[in-house]
Chain A
Amino acid sequence: EPEVTQTPSHQVTQMGQEVILRCVPISNHLYFYWYRQILGQKVEFLVSFYNNEISEKSEIFDDQFSVERPDGSNFTLKIRSTKLEDSAMYFCASSVGDRGTDTQYFGPGTRLTVL
């Protein structure tokens, strides 16, 4: 069964450093997402991406965040200058379509620890 994959599973970085989290969505999916879950809290939407453009973004997704689909398979989230409060689990998801008509399937997550 196709699945979303994410690398690395755990990333430790120093405050102020740049990190890139990588995701490979399910191959026939057209919509891609990033969500964040701070430890013990709920899952929060960051951004959705379609046709090489951001479709929606939340207030959390400020100028220090960016997303990219550098090739036909990868979808990346870059945090330019990490802060302590960026420590969280980051989930990538993908869906065939949008507008809630299609289920978003999530990857296993990348745990980001900012020291």
Chain B
Amino acid sequence: AQKVTQAQTEISVVEKEDVTLDCVYETRDTTYYLFWYKQPPSGELVFLIRRNSFDEQNEISGRYSWNFQKSTSSFNFTITASQVVDSAVYFCALSDFGAGNMLTFGGGTRLMVKP
């Protein structure tokens, strides 16, 4: 069975601070995919990134960066110089071959960025 844990339910930062959202996953498969989605107050789910289990290179996209560590089964997400518009709930998700294409989501982390 696959499982995703986001231990931080809520984080509050002041604008321009850096913030890291943690994600820990469990899966029996050696091939799997990890995702981050953003859910702004308007409610939609916005895709941010997908990584496969064979690629442990960290990725940077503007102010966003992701740290994938297979040894600790973690896929953490860092926002540098946070902005008020980053305020949202962020979900980490996992898809492995044993579960078809079903996405298993973590419980989400609510990020509040204050001006």
Contacts and interface: CB of A to CB of B under 8 A. Distances in A.
Interface of A: 31, 33, 35, 41-45, 48, 55-56, 58, 89, 91, 93, 95, 98-109, 111
Main secondary structure of the interface of A (DSSP, over half): strand
Contacts, number: 70
Given A42-B91, A109-B44, A103 B101 contact: no
Contact of B43 (A41, A89, A95, A102): A89
Nearest to A107: B44
B100 A108 contact: no
Given A42-B106, A55-B100, A100 B44 contact: no
Interface of B: 31-33, 35, 37, 42-47, 50, 52, 91, 93, 95-97, 99-108
A35 B102 CA distance: 10
